[in-house]
Amino acid sequence: MNFSQLQSVVALAETGSFTEAAFAIDLTQSAVSHALATLERELGVTIFERNRKGVVTLTDIGKKILPHVRELLAQAEAIEQECRAARGQSTGKVRIGNIESIIAPGLLTSILTRFQSLYPEIEVVLFEGSLHEVGEWIENSVIDVGFVMLPATGVNETFLSTDELCILLPQSHPLSRRNAIAPHELQGENFVLEKTQCTLNYVKKAGIEPNKVKLRYQARDKATILAMVRERLGITIMPRTLVPKKLDGVVMLPLNPPGMIKIGLATRSQETTSRSTRLFIQTAVDWVQEQAAKPAYVG
């Protein structure tokens, strides 16, 4: 078993094609095919099913061993990074999982900008997915670190910041003139919510009983949700940092008592975290703390 074989397994699992897998890891198609055939022969199992069109899919045993293959490659990368650091070189790669429904674009881009300015030789690969997907990617070593809502189970957590949940209503809504809204006042209201697991967490964090939420519509795009609120099709809930600065026909109100969420970064384990990942986490923590010390900062 060698690294070319392991890299071929991951590339084939991600692309489903020998041609695309070969391009992804900079090998010839025949080299990828040979690597896979040799590995399957050594292990005595079939990792991929092939069809005549060249498309490959993981077998049951292939699905079971893929997380272990990813972990082996991640550990090999971590070893190389530590050795390069010992030679005074800050090179490597960090794979980051982002959740658009939690993380404000300004937060992510500012942290990435700071990180790239400090460590220009470290490659950053960005993955975007749902709360559930990022959790699975961390567990299966698809990514090195991911943004999460805290607390998160089964991972090593680093706290970054808090965000306040707000209710958004049409200007004509009877509650729109209030300074704040109590959770019990929202019972019976029609809600327009984003199609993500995060939204249900928002409802719980806000102190609203999920079984009493009247879900009228669901949409993926925040602009669409706000347009529906503007047209009085329902109300919605969002973290304050994700709400646009300009709200035409929509009013944003805080909850009373305040509904807060905690945002952080998570890795699979502290012991196996690569040097590049540790540098990214520290950069993120430092940047957030610097911004929090500025009274005029708005996320």
pLDDT tens-digit readout, 74-129: 888 888 877 877 776 667 889 999 998 889 888 999 999 999 999 998 999 999 99
Query: What sign does the CA torsion over 102, 297, 235, 219 have?
Result: negative
User: How much is the mean pLDDT over the chain?
Assistant: 89
CATH class of 69-160+263-292: alpha beta
Q: Are 124 and 116 in contact (CB under 8 A)?
A: yes
CATH of domain 162-260: 3.40.190.290
Q: What distance in Å separates the CA atoms of residue 275 and residue 264, rounded to the nearest whole number? A: 18
pLDDT tier at 299, thresholds 50, 70, 90? very low
Q: What distance in Å separates the CA atoms of residue 285 and residue 41, rounded to the nearest whole number? A: 47
In the chain, residues under CATH classification 3.40.190.10 are: 69-160+263-292
CATH architecture of 3-63: Orthogonal Bundle (1.10)
How far CA 177 is from CA of 150, 164, 203, in Å, comes to 32, 19, 22
pLDDT above 80 for 204: yes
How far CA 98 is from CA of 125, 127, 169, in Å, comes to 11, 6, 28
Give me the helix-helix angle, 29-43 and 3-15, nearest 10°.
Answer: 110
In the chain, residues under CATH classification 3.40.190.290 are: 162-260
User: Left (φ > 0), alpha (ψ -120 to 50) or beta: where does 199 sit?
Assistant: alpha
Nearest to 160 by CA among 41, 48, 281, 280: 281
* Contacts with 251 (C-beta within 8 Å, 6 or more apart), sequence order: 168, 169, 170, 171, 173, 176
Q: Which residue has the higher pLDDT, 242 or 54?
A: 242
* Contacts with 202 (C-beta within 8 Å, 6 or more apart), sequence order: 165, 237, 238, 239, 259, 261
Tokens of 1: 């078993």
Q: What's the pLDDT score for residue 131? A: 87
pLDDT tens-digit readout, 128-158: 998 889 998 998 888 999 999 999 888 999 9
Q: What distance in Å separates the CA atoms of residue 266 and residue 96, rounded to the nearest whole number? A: 10
Q: Would the pTM of this model clear 0.85, i.e. be above it?
A: no
User: Left (φ > 0), alpha (ψ -120 to 50) or beta: where does 258 sit?
Assistant: beta
User: What are the φ and ψ backbone dihedral angles of 178, each rounded to 5 degrees?
Assistant: -75, 160
**DSSP 8-state class, residue 184:** G
pLDDT tier at 297, thresholds 50, 70, 90? very low
Tokens of 268: 């699979």
